[in-house]
Structure 1
Amino acid sequence: MMRIGIITASDKGSRGEREDLSGPALKELAQSMDWEVAEYIILPDDQSMLEGTMRQWVDELSLDLILTTGGTGFSPRDVTPEATLAVADRLVPGIAEVMRLESLKVTPKAMLSRAVAVLRKRTLIINMPGSPKAVRECFHAISPALPHGLQILKGEANECGTPTK
C-alpha cells in the first residue's frame, strides 16, 4: 500500500480563517486509489516550514508520495514550488506539464501555474492547484501513471518498456 502525505499551503487556512477544501479532496482521491493517507497538515505559505515538513516526511517517515495543494501562483507569498525544488534530488517535469495541459482545456489561466513535481530519495512530491475543482481535474489527468511510477521508484516494478513475465 502506498503511504502518502498531503500538505495544504494557505496562510488563511493555517490560521483557521478559511476552510481547507482542497486537502480533503486530495485525501478522498488518494483513498479512491487505495492509498493510505498517513499525514495531513495545513501550513502557512512559509518556505522554510514547507521545506522542513517535506524533508521530515521523506527522510523520517519514508512516505511514498507527497501531494501539496496551494501556493503555486504569482502572489509573493506563493512559495510552494520554491520549497519543493529546494528539497528535490531530481525533477519530474512531465507530471506538471500534463496537469497544465489538461487544465488549459478548462481555463487559459492554467498557464500561470508554477507547480512542479520532483523526486527526493524514493518519494514523489507533486504540487497541485489550490482549488478543489482543479485538484480533481489534475489528479484525474495524472493518476493513471502514478501507481506504475511509484512502483518503479520503490523498486517493485519493471521499467516502463520491459514486458512483465
Structure 2
Amino acid sequence: MTVYTCAVLTTSDKGARGEREDTSGPALRELLVAHGFKVAAHTLVPDRIEEIHRVLQNWVDQDKIDLIITTGGTGLTPSDVTPEATLPLLEREIPGMAEAMRAASFAKTPHAVMSRGLAGIRGESLLINLPGSRRAALENIEVLLPALPHALAKIKGSPEDCQPGQ
C-alpha cells in the first residue's frame, strides 16, 4: 500500500492571535494518520489570501505534498478567503468532491449550503478546503476518505481502472 503525505493548514485570525485554540487541525491530522497518511506539515495562518496562497503553493511546488487540507475560511464572513487563495493555484477543479461534502453536510444542517470550499489538483497534489469547525471538518473529510487513495493514485498517473473487474 502506498503511503501518501499530507499537510493541514488552519486559517484563523483568532487562532493566529492566540485567542482561539485550533481544534480542527489536530483532529484532521489524527484522522489522516489513522487512515495511513504521513503528516508532512501543519501550520496555522491568519485569514489573509497572500499568506494562505504562499503556504499552499510552497507545499505543492516545493515540498510535493500529496494531499493538502485546509480548515477554515470557507464561509460567508468578509474574512473567509480560503477558496479565493486556493482557486488561482488549481490547474483542475474536482467539483464532485466539494459537492459530495456539501450534500452530506446538508443532510445534517441547512447551513451547509453556505460552504464555499473547493477541491482540485495542482501538479500531483490534491487540495481540499474544509470548514473550520472541528465537527464540520471531520464530517466533510470522512465523506472523501474512501476515495482519496484512488484519487491520489490517478492524479499521479496510475493506469489502474476506476472500477476493477468491469
Q: Judge same fold: TM > 0.5, yes or no.
A: yes
Q: Give the residue type in structure 2 aligned to 1:39.
A: A
- The equivalent position to 2:30 in structure 1, one of 13, 28, 44, is 28
Q: Is the 8 A contact 1:64 1:123 kept in 2?
A: yes
Q: What amino acid does structure 2 have at the position aligned with 1:49?
A: E
What is the number of equivalent residue pairs in this alignment? 164
CA distance in 2, matches of 1:157, 1:110: 35
Residue by residue, what CA displacement relative to the aligned partner does 1:141-161 show, whole Å, maximum 9, x if unpaired? Answer: 111111110111123451314
Percent of pairs with identical residues: 46
What root-mean-square deviation, in Å, do the aligned CA atoms of Structure 1 and Structure 2 show?
1.3
TM-score normalised by L of structure 2: 0.95
Q: Residue 141 of structure 2 corresponds to which residue in structure 1?
A: 139
- Give matches, 1:16-165, under 5 Å: 16-156=18-158, 158-161=160-163, 163=165
Checking the alignment, whether the CA contact within 8 Å between 1:148 and 1:157 is kept in structure 2 is no
List gaps (5 residues or longer) in structure 2. Answer: none
Distance 1:27 1:157, change over 3 A: farther
Deviant stretches of 4+, over 3 Å: 161-164
Matches of 2:159 and 2:134, distance apart in 1: 31
Q: Which amino acid aligns with 1:138?
A: N
**Aligned amino acid, residue 21 of structure 1:** T
Q: Is the 8 A contact 1:4 1:65 kept in 2?
A: yes
Secondary structure of 2:42's aligned partner: strand
Alpha-carbon displacement from aligned partner over 1:40-96 (angstroms, at most 9, x marks no partner): 000000001111111100000000010000000011111000111011111000111
Give the C-alpha shift of residue 135 in structure 1: 1.3
5+ residue gaps, structure 1, are: none
Q: Secondary structure at the match of 2:86?
A: helix
Partner SS for 1:145: helix
- Normalising by structure 1, we get a TM-score of 0.95
